[in-house]
Amino acid sequence: MGFDKKKFWENKIVGWEDKRYSFKINKSGFLQAFGISLGSSLLFRIQKSAEILRPYLANKSLLELGCGSGLLFNELSDSKIKKYIGIDWAPSAIDKAIVKFESSAKLPPSKFIVGNFMDMDFPEFDVVVALGVLDWLEIDEIDTLFSKTKS
């Protein structure tokens, strides 16, 4: 029996995001500061990606594969996105994203979907993002994903 990525991620995602990316630094010492700096790598990538994407997203549609609980969407919420869809296979992460974002009139129209994007056909989107997802895919899965999202 092989490693079950879906089960692993469902059991890890929400607690991992909460513990790693909702931190407040206290004065407990070097090890905590070191751990936080390592944990901030995803936040850095999200912030940098948002900075790069923001000028191109006004009135555009955005599909995020592996959206987790919507950290990137939150960072892009001021970018006048026409439509956002986030897909993740962890129901707990999608549930959290729905509670945080889908009912807010102040944010761009959004929809969060539980599913394996490898098994889905996508409508056409202006921009497709997959932060961190490629780290978990095999080469043939990456090829399949690129062919499905090519426009």
Q: Convert the pLDDT of each residue in 60-119 to its tens digit.
A: 999 999 999 999 999 998 888 999 999 999 999 999 999 988 777 778 889 999 999 888
- Which is more confidently placed, 127 or 25? 127
pLDDT, residue 108, reads 84
Angle at 122 between CA 120 and CA 126, to 5 degrees: 150
Task: Extract the tokens encoding 16.
Answer: 């991992």
Global pTM value: 0.74
User: What does the pLDDT look like over 74-86, one tens digit per residue?
Assistant: 999 888 899 999 9
- Region label for 70, one of left (φ > 0), alpha (ψ between -120 and 50) or beta (otherwise): left
Question: The domain that contains 132 carries what CATH number?
Answer: 3.40.50.150
pLDDT, residue 53, reads 94
Read off the pLDDT band of 30 (50, 70, 90): very low
**Containing domain of residue 38, as a range?**
5-149
The total domain count for the chain is: 1
